[in-house]
Amino acid sequence: MTSRPTTSLLTAFLALLLLAPSLNAQFWKRKKQQSPAISPATASQLVEAMMVDMAPAPEYPEITVAALPAKPPVLFTPRNPATPPVSQAQRAVREADRHFQYGKFFIQEGKPEQARQEFDLAMESLMDLPADLPDRALIDRKSEELIRNIHRYDLESLGAGIAPGEAVYTQSPLEEILDLTFPVDPRLKGRTQAQVQAAQSQLPLVVNDAVLSYINYFTSTRGQRTLLNGIKRAGRYREMISRIFAEEGVPQELIFLAQAESGFMPRAVSRKAATGMWQFVRRTGQDYGLNQSTLHDDRLDPEKATRAAARHLSDLYKLSGDWYLAMAAYNCGPYCVERAVQRTGYADFWELHRRNAIPRETRNYVPAILAMVIVSRNLEAYGLQSLPPEAPLDYDTIHVAADTNLGLIADAADVPLADIRELNPALIRTVAPAGFDVRVPARQAREVLAAIEAVPEDKRAAWRLHRISSSDTLASIARQYSTAANSILAANQLDSSFFEAPEDGEVLLIPASAPKAAPAKRKAPVRRTTARRTASKSAKPAPRKVAARK
């Protein structure tokens, strides 16, 4: 009974296999009959669609995205959490750095004795170490670096760097000698005349006994010291003065008026209260745009004063038509020269000189300047050896929006306060007024301004910056600036854990007190003299007709 169903199933399966091809062909035949035929137009559209799909992708224009602006410098540098072990030499270097930073602070505070003590301690920290230390080279390098830096601060701030042969001017270097008479060396006349005739000059040069007497003086042992040191210091300002004189149409040789007036010292003050490199009295300075306040005096600014001097000389020349008379008027005042011309009828300096119609100091002023011009052109011919000129001042300028402590600016630039004051002699006190353009060391303007702007505007007249040494503590920094430790933490938004492992070079805001103004000194009485600038650089007179030369 079981074999019969099995046989039936096998027979059915074989029949299905034989009929499968025929059934498949019939299925596709019926499918083709049901599908509509594709027209030639439809086929063409299909081909075009395929070609579009195969076409390359269109090129889109590139879009340039501007770079994000650079972030301003931050005061704090990232710290490395891993602290390697510190060797004996490294500890000594950190201790030396700490004393050096203290010394810099005392210099900025005007305390040279304490500064010198700290500098000595800095060197002692390195000198007391054994000679066989494994990293002795680190000590030697640090010692050389400290010696250079301390020497620089010593020269500029502690007063120990004045060379024995260098003149130190507190007044005009010619104030004393202009009242004196010097002998004439007859051997100089022929040689000097030949040199003057062979040289080209914007200023007419004359060789006579008055000029020769000062040539004799400036080639003497005492006189050459005055001349050569002035030429040396002029290197700082020569390029600036030459540029301004060219712009104002003033002879280049008149740069020696600045040597006669001040020895190129921007802060020179005469006994007649004439001030600055070009020795302007207050009223004449104001006539030429040199403003003064309790915080600044433009007469002390070398560039502003040079511009004013060039314009003043140009105006004096327009009055007289003669550069010698303009020089004389610069010394004793335009009214003095004008009265002498009207009284004698001669508009010629040498005639006024011969007739003693002008003060003795003025009679010697012009010959002394001419002598300096002649000798400086050929020092070797007069047996003089020139000194290397000082490098021209190189600086950037920043604009302070609020009253700003010069100590803060010095901290930001990491230079002595004396450097900032030297670049800004027009600032009378240690605070630059709001709106003032302050000169800072070259290529540091951006960093200095960024550091200053980190201090609130209303605090910039007092607050300071402190670069941390690894041996600093919160208490030592607070003592150094006479401020509260909590105030330092609050100003920098820190807690005391920051000082558990301070890193060299990090900068802190220091909420210090405003510097106290020095007590005013009582002025000493001024002895009156009849020869010194009877009408010294007073206001410009209205142009008047001058008597013709005879």
What local confidence, expressed as pLDDT, does residue 212 receive? 93
Distance CA 506, CA 440 (A): 21
Distance CA 493, CA 505 (A): 18
What local confidence, expressed as pLDDT, does residue 236 receive? 94
Q: Identify which of 223, 216, 217 has the alpha carbon closest to the alpha carbon of residue 189.
A: 216
What local confidence, expressed as pLDDT, does residue 539 receive? 41
Distance CA 535, CA 329 (A): 9
Q: Locate 77 and state its tokens.
A: 């540098």
Distance CA 409, CA 451 (A): 9
Whole-prediction pTM: 0.65
Distance CA 348, CA 325 (A): 7
Rounded to 5 degrees, φ, ψ at 475 are: -65, -40
Q: Give residues with Cβ within 8 angstroms of 95, minimum separation 6.
A: 122, 125, 471
Distance CA 79, CA 448 (A): 22
SS3 of residue 103 by DSSP:
helix
What local confidence, expressed as pLDDT, does residue 22 receive? 62
Rounded to 5 degrees, φ, ψ at 508 are: -115, 145
Question: In sequence order, what DSSP letters do the residues of 479-529 get, joined into one string?
Answer: HHTT--HHHHHHHHT--GGGGGS--TT-EEEE-PPPPPPPPPPPPPPPPP-
Q: Identify which of 88, 85, 98 has the alpha carbon closest to the alpha carbon of residue 139.
A: 88
Distance CA 484, CA 477 (A): 9
The identity of residue 272, as a single letter, is: K
Distance CA 271, CA 296 (A): 20
What are the beta bridge partners of residue 508? 466
SS3 of residue 439 by DSSP:
strand
Arch. (CATH architecture) of 177-382: Orthogonal Bundle (1.10)
Q: Identify which of 496, 490, 492, 505 has the alpha carbon closest to the alpha carbon of residue 473.
A: 496
Are 277 and 237 in contact, with CB atoms under 8 Å apart? yes
Q: Locate 177 and state its tokens.
A: 């000698």
Cα radius of gyration (the chain):
42
What are the beta bridge partners of residue 432? 404
Are 416 and 430 in contact, with CB atoms under 8 Å apart? no
What are the beta bridge partners of residue 465? 509
Q: What is the pLDDT along the chain (550 residues), one digit of tens a residue?
A: 445 555 666 666 666 556 656 655 665 556 555 555 555 555 555 555 555 455 555 554 454 444 444 444 445 444 454 556 778 888 888 888 888 888 877 776 667 778 888 888 888 888 777 777 787 778 878 877 777 677 666 644 544 433 433 333 356 666 667 766 777 877 788 888 888 888 888 999 999 999 999 999 999 888 888 899 899 999 999 999 999 999 999 999 999 999 999 989 998 888 777 889 999 999 999 999 999 988 899 999 999 999 999 999 999 999 999 999 999 999 999 999 999 999 999 999 999 999 999 999 999 999 999 999 999 998 988 999 888 899 999 999 999 999 999 999 999 999 888 889 989 999 988 899 999 999 999 999 999 999 999 999 999 999 999 988 777 888 888 988 889 999 999 999 988 888 877 777 889 999 988 665 544 444 444 333 333 333 334 444 443 333 333 3
Distance CA 174, CA 120 (A): 40
Are 170 and 258 in contact, with CB atoms under 8 Å apart? no
What local confidence, expressed as pLDDT, does residue 95 receive? 86
What local confidence, expressed as pLDDT, does residue 547 receive? 38
Q: Give residues with Cβ within 8 angstroms of 489, minimum separation 6.
A: 474, 495, 496, 498
What local confidence, expressed as pLDDT, does residue 185 receive? 78
Q: C-alpha distances in angstroms, 316 versus 279, 334, 522, 541? A: 16, 7, 36, 9
Distance CA 278, CA 174 (A): 13
Question: In sequence order, what DSSP letters do the residues of 68-100 get, joined into one string?
Answer: PPPPPPPSSPPPPS--PPPPHHHHHHHHHHHHH
Task: Spell out where 271-319 has E strands.
Answer: none
Q: Locate 125 and state its tokens.
A: 């920290």
Are 512 and 483 in contact, with CB atoms under 8 Å apart? yes
Distance CA 234, CA 258 (A): 9
CB neighbourhood size of 300 (10 A): 24
Residue whose token pair is 């950190």: 94
Q: Identify which of 392, 371, 402, 338 has the alpha carbon closest to the alpha carbon of residue 185.
A: 371
What are the beta bridge partners of residue 298? none
Long-range (24+ apart) CB contacts under 8 A made by 98-106 are 98/122, 98/469, 98/471, 98/472, 99/125, 100/146, 100/149, 100/150, 101/466, 101/467, 101/469, 102/480, 103/150, 103/153, 104/153, 104/416, 105/480, 105/481
Q: Identify which of 480, 468, 438 has the alpha carbon closest to the alpha carbon of residue 109.
A: 480
What local confidence, expressed as pLDDT, does residue 521 receive? 45
Q: Is 64 exposed, middle or buried (0-12, 13-18, 19+ CB in 10 A)?
A: exposed
